[in-house]
């Protein structure tokens, strides 16, 4: 008699437990709790009083956390930029700090500035683009807050779980963080920037610790171009070692880019050989791009290069070596001499 009752009770208990674990209601309430608690500070970038639209990828990522999202800006005449940012969809509040000392984005005074404002706002998450600015600044902030940062995330799986590529994109790592706040840089091509209109955030002045900056900004030399920006372009044409010289690169690539309305990129070999500017490098140590079309010529497809472009929607390649690794990832491959094929392609695109 006793045995069946015990078994029955155990079974009943087990069923209860199973139900408890699996009930959707419980998961929902947990998510709702996170939504109530999560609050993210998205670091926005500006240059000469203009909001950097590609930095809005941090807002898109922050919105996936489900809680409230505040944007952060600092620099001179920043109120106007804050008003512009207030229209960005998804932002609840813009925290801004008016001080020209922050115009150049130097990590030495920016890091204490952020630490103060993160503490004041009690944020659970801090997100910035994985740009030169974000890469230089956020680890410094993270160390000051005793947090292990998570770099260059491509996906958010939960309040504490993030996905990022490692080994030049040859492996995909999912990590879980118990740190508070969670400090994250975001891969721009993985989180398309949201709508610049339609929002109505409030604006509020932040805290300015006015930390001394031992570093002085001297000058900059930025490659000027009327073409779309490489990291966010819809189309990219890219040249490699096969172009043989800077003269040939400049002769063949710009007309092809013009015919397509594309940005120009380059492989490390082309940059190292001086064919193209460093800032055009696509790959593990250069830019990550994920355009609708990536058309490359004279690029063999080394793993470091593939790391920067293999998330492109369509990849087309022109190479004279039929065994080049680029053909293993290209949707459209043409084996041939680029010195013939590129001009022919340019001409046919122009006349189409």
Partner 1 sequence: MSKLRILVPVKRVIDYAVKPRVNKAQTGVETNVKHSMNPFDELSVEEAVRFRERKLPVEEIVAFSAGPAKSQDIIRTAMAMGADRGIHVVEEKTELEPLGIAKLLQKVVEENKSNLVILGKQSIDDDSGQTGQMLAGLLKWPQATQASKVEFDGDNVTVTREVDGGVETLKTKLPMIITTDLRLNEPRYASLPNIMKAKKKPLEKKTLADYGIDATRRLKTVKVEEPAQRQGGGKVEDVDGMISKLKELGAL
The verdict on whether residue 241 carries a ligand-binding annotation is yes
Binding mask 333-352 for partner 1 (x = CB under 8 A): xxxx----x--xx--xx--x
Nearer to partner 1, 155 or 208 (CB): 155
The verdict on whether residue 319 carries a ligand-binding annotation is yes
23-82: contacts with partner 1 (CB under 8 A): none
Among 132, 192, 209, 245, binds partner 1 (CB under 8 A): 132
Residues 6 or more apart whose Cβ sits within 8 Å of residue 296? 237, 238, 239, 240, 265, 267, 309, 315, 316, 317, 318, 326
The rounded distance, in Å, linking the Cα atoms of 343 and 338 is 8
Q: Which stretch binds partner 1 (CB under 8 A): 23-31, 90-98, 196-204, 330-338?
A: 330-338
CB 296 within 8 A of CB 282: no
CB 101 within 8 A of CB 130: no
177-196: contacts with partner 1 (CB under 8 A): 177-179
CB 166 within 8 A of CB 55: no
Among 94, 95, 127, 137, binds partner 1 (CB under 8 A): 137
Q: Confirm or reject binding of residue 139 to partner 1 (CB under 8 A).
A: yes
Q: Is 2 exposed, middle or buried (0-12, 13-18, 19+ CB in 10 A)?
A: exposed
282-301: contacts with partner 1 (CB under 8 A): 284-285, 287, 292-293
The rounded distance, in Å, linking the Cα atoms of 315 and 294 is 5
The verdict on whether residue 148 carries a ligand-binding annotation is no
Q: Confirm or reject binding of residue 304 to partner 1 (CB under 8 A).
A: yes
The rounded distance, in Å, linking the Cα atoms of 39 and 117 is 13
The verdict on whether residue 2 carries a ligand-binding annotation is no
Query: Dihedral sign, CA of 231, 234, 237, 240?
Result: positive
Peptide bond into 135 cis (omega under 30): no
- Dihedral-angle region of residue 141 (phi above 0 means left; psi in -120 to 50 means alpha; beta otherwise): alpha
Nearer to partner 1, 140 or 251 (CB): 140
Q: How far is the CB of 52 from partner 1 (least distance, A)?
A: 10
| Closest to 118 measured CA to CA, from 76, 70, 81, 77 | 70
Q: What is the DSSP letter of 293?
A: E
Q: Confirm or reject binding of residue 168 to partner 1 (CB under 8 A).
A: yes
Among 99, 161, 207, 273, binds partner 1 (CB under 8 A): 161
The rounded distance, in Å, linking the Cα atoms of 289 and 231 is 5
Q: How far is the CB of 333 from partner 1 (least distance, A)?
A: 4
141-160: contacts with partner 1 (CB under 8 A): 141-144, 146-152
Q: Confirm or reject binding of residue 237 to partner 1 (CB under 8 A).
A: no
Q: Which stretch binds partner 1 (CB under 8 A): 2-10, 26-34, 82-90, 101-109?
A: 101-109
Q: Which two three-digit tokens encode residue 169?
A: 């994109």
Among 38, 41, 56, 107, binds partner 1 (CB under 8 A): 107
Nearer to partner 1, 37 or 173 (CB): 173
Q: How far is the CB of 28 from partner 1 (least distance, A)?
A: 22
Which residues make up each annotated binding site? Answer: 241, 267-268, 281-285, 298-305, 319
Which residues make up each annotated binding site for FAD? Answer: 241, 267-268, 281-285, 298-305, 319
């Amino acid at each position: 008699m006793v045995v069946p009752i015990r078994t029955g009770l155990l079974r009943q208990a087990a069923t209860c437990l199973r139900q408890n674990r699996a009930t959707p209601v419980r998961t929902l309430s947990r998510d709702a709790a996170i939504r109530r608690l999560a609050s993210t500070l998205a670091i926005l970038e500006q240059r000469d009083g203009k909001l950097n639209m590609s930095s809005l990828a941090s807002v898109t990522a922050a919105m996936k956390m489900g809680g409230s999202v505040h944007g952060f800006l600092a620099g001179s005449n920043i109120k106007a930029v804050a008003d512009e940012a207030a229209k960005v969809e998804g932002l609840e509040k813009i925290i801004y700090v008016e001080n020209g000392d922050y115009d150049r984005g130097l990590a030495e005074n920016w890091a204490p500035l952020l630490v103060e404002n993160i503490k004041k706002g009690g944020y659970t998450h801090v997100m910035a683009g994985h740009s030169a600015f974000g890469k230089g600044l956020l680890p410094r902030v993270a160390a000051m807050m005793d947090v292990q940062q998570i770099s260059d995330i491509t996906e958010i799986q939960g309040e504490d779980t993030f996905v990022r590529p490692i080994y030049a994109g040859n492996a995909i790592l999912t990590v879980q963080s118990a740190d508070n706040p969670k400090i994250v840089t975001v891969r721009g091509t993985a989180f398309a920037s949201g709508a610049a209109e339609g929002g109505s955030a409030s604006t509020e002045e932040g805290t300015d610790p006015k930390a001394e900056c031992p570093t002085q900004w001297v000058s900059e030399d930025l490659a000027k171009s009327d073409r779309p920006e490489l990291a966010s372009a819809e189309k990219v044409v890219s040249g490699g070692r096969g172009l043989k010289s800077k003269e040939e690169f400049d002769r063949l690539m710009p007309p092809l880019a013009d015919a397509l309305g594309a940005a120009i990129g380059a492989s490390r070999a082309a940059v190292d050989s001086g064919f193209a500017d460093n800032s055009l490098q696509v790959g593990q140590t250069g830019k990550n791009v994920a355009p609708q079309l990536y058309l490359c010529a004279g690029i063999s497809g080394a793993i470091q290069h593939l790391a920067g472009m293999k998330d492109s929607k369509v990849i087309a390649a022109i190479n004279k070596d039929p065994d080049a690794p680029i053909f293993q990832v290209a949707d459209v491959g043409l084996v041939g001499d680029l010195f013939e094929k590129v001009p022919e392609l340019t001409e046919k695109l122009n006349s189409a």
